[in-house]
Structure 1
Amino acid sequence: MADLRAGVIGLGMIGGGVAVSLARSGHPAAAVFDVRPEAADGLEGVPACVASPAEVAQACDVVLVAVVDADQARAVLTGDDGVLAGSRPGLTVVLLSTVGLAAVRELADLCAGSGVTLLDAGVTNGPEAARNGLVTMVGGPDDEVAAAVPVLEAFSRSVVHCGPLGAGMTTKLARNAITYATWAAVREATSLAAAGGVGPATLLRVLEQAEDTVAPLLHLQLKAVDYTIGEEQQAWASGLADKDLAAAQELAAELGLSLPIVDQVRPRMPDVYAGRLDGLD
């Protein structure tokens, strides 16, 4: 890591957390960028934003891209002042954004045309991003992943090399399918219990007494079932769920698989985040 200069593009919850975690590990980002020039303000150990993604590429060996979706990632990479405009052969781009596999392959091809390697790296445990708590699922060639691992380990709790290009994102989409389906199941279960006069705290108490039968993810989500968020946050969260589940459906169609649970869960996510199912609040 001492010889690698890392940069971060996108300083939201994930990217900002990654930048803070790099600093906490003693390897602060050499350059960061966000469309909000003030985004780095208040992020401990994180330098002020530079003027463009190209400047991040010029200053760094590994560029971590943590934007919202494929369109933003494409713009960050290929814009007039994008990463590829400032790149040099040998640069590595690590895509932390959750996108579909077609987008991963497209962006990797665009990077390869400039002698740049793209690795796909889905991340999870977002609320812990600023405390070196991310689990990073990376896809790409063995040697390229090995070269980037020191940077990944500097901000992650765990790094898992899942396989070739696309394997990291595939793992993230599969993990997300479990997460969203579990959220929907928790909401349905608590709605059923509430309709019968049993509150979430009672249901949780029963599950805690039989904890060996409860998956940790289900347990965590049931603990959070009373947590309410505002309408703006609901729209944001359900939008992310829709994007991620759509990507899972797209991959399944490409592979000739059916995902009947995902098909049912995807249109339900706005109600899941609003805390209502089947007319029950």
Structure 2
Amino acid sequence: MSVQTVSQGPATEAGTPRAGVIGLGMIGGGVAVSLARSGQVPTVYDIRPDAADKLAGVPAPVGSPAEVARASDVVLVAVVDAEQARTVLLGENGVLAGAERGLIVVLLSTVAVPVVHELAQACAKAGVALLDCGVTPGDKAAENGLVAILGGDETTVQRAMPVLTGFAKRVVHCGPLGAGMATKIARNVITYGTWRAVHEATTLAGAAGVDPEKLITVIEEADPEGATLFSWQRQRLAGVAQPLAAQVARLLDKDLAAAQELAGQLGISLPLTDVTRAHGPETLGAESGKDA
């Protein structure tokens, strides 16, 4: 999967597409605020009539997603799940009910990749293009601080770009339709998997009598930029990891065996550690003698 990175550009040029936002929760509300700050005051909709009351520069919601579509060239959909996305796009007063041919829908909600293709097919029948666009970090949405993780064809991406750069600090075009959602889902695997790893590590340290805050201090001091997280994968991508893989696999096995032994003595379960040790050679590319 190729990745194209597009840096932020001007968002207030003449002819900038009209923006709409559906769903004014943390993500959608923040996106609407950022667009307004960028000079692209969006037409908005939310099931709560007062949803925009505390959103700086954002007007009151219109009556339906269809009204947003009629007033917009690019509609950003920031609802909770796939069912809500279907409702706001395909419902009786949904986006497609008010859409003219050429409208672009940008799906900000995290849904399964097959749902992206399902919704794209429904949109295409109405002459509407759909882009999948995972976003992160959600708490920076109102500060023009999101990274937009985009999937879709290049022509549609470029047409939507003035709106995307109106709320995102960085737009990363990851590939065709579905690629943005796949990248966001993969990012979430890292997030939640890391949380689990930290949980197991702090539980182990705590059971051994170590203040978990001391562990945090050690990690932050030893790796202040978090470079370790991607260090091995970067070496694999650069083609320089393979000569070291067998040696690192032995170290991984030795170190995680020690963690398992300590956990057994303390009566602690470390399921992620168990899986990581079992799949160590595969993780490191040492199993087959080939790098991935």
Q: Does 1:53 align with 2:65?
A: yes
Amino acid at match of 1:47: P
Deviation at 1:126, TM superposition (A): 0.5
How far apart, in 2, do the equivalents of 1:217 and 1:98 lie?
A: 23
Which of residues 188, 196, 199 is equivalent to 2:200?
188
Among the aligned pairs, what percent are the same residue? 64
Gaps of 5+ in 1: 219-259, 265-281
Structure with higher Rg: it is 2
Q: Secondary structure of 2:30's partner? A: helix
In structure 2, relative to structure 1, the CA distance for the partners of 1:176 and 1:208 (3 Å cut) is: same
Which of residues 59, 63, 66 is equivalent to 2:75?
63
Partner of 2:219: 207
The aligned length equals: 221
How far apart, in 2, do the equivalents of 1:177 and 1:69 lie?
A: 18
Indicate conservation of the 8 Å contact 1:11/1:34, yes or no.
yes
Partner of 1:76: 88
Q: Does 1:9 align with 2:29?
A: no
How far apart, in 1, do the equivalents of 2:73 and 2:228 lie?
A: 37
Partner of 2:110: 98
Partner of 2:183: 171
The two structures have a TM-score, normalised by structure 2, of 0.72
Cα distance per residue 1:105-164 (max 9 Å; x no partner): 000000001000000001110011110111111111111001101111110011000011
The two structures have a TM-score, normalised by structure 1, of 0.75
How far apart, in 1, do the equivalents of 2:229 and 2:139 lie?
A: 14
Amino acid at match of 1:9: I
Q: Does 1:126 align with 2:104?
A: no
Deviation at 1:181, TM superposition (A): 0.2
Which of residues 122, 137, 153 is equivalent to 1:141?
153
How far apart, in 2, do the equivalents of 1:11 and 1:33 lie?
A: 7
Indicate conservation of the 8 Å contact 1:179/1:217, yes or no.
no
Q: CA RMSD in A?
A: 2.0
**Highest relative contact order (Cα 8 Å, sep 6+), 1 or 2?**
2
How far apart, in 2, do the equivalents of 1:212 and 1:22 lie?
A: 33
Q: Secondary structure of 1:32's partner? A: strand
In structure 2, relative to structure 1, the CA distance for the partners of 1:216 and 1:41 (3 Å cut) is: farther
Q: Deviation above 2 Å: which 4+ runs of structure 1?
A: 212-218
How far apart, in 1, do the equivalents of 2:203 and 2:37 lie?
A: 42
How far apart, in 2, do the equivalents of 1:141 and 1:161 lie?
A: 9
Deviation at 1:207, TM superposition (A): 1.4
How far apart, in 2, do the equivalents of 1:185 and 1:215 lie?
A: 16
Gaps of 5+ in 2: 1-10, 231-270, 276-292
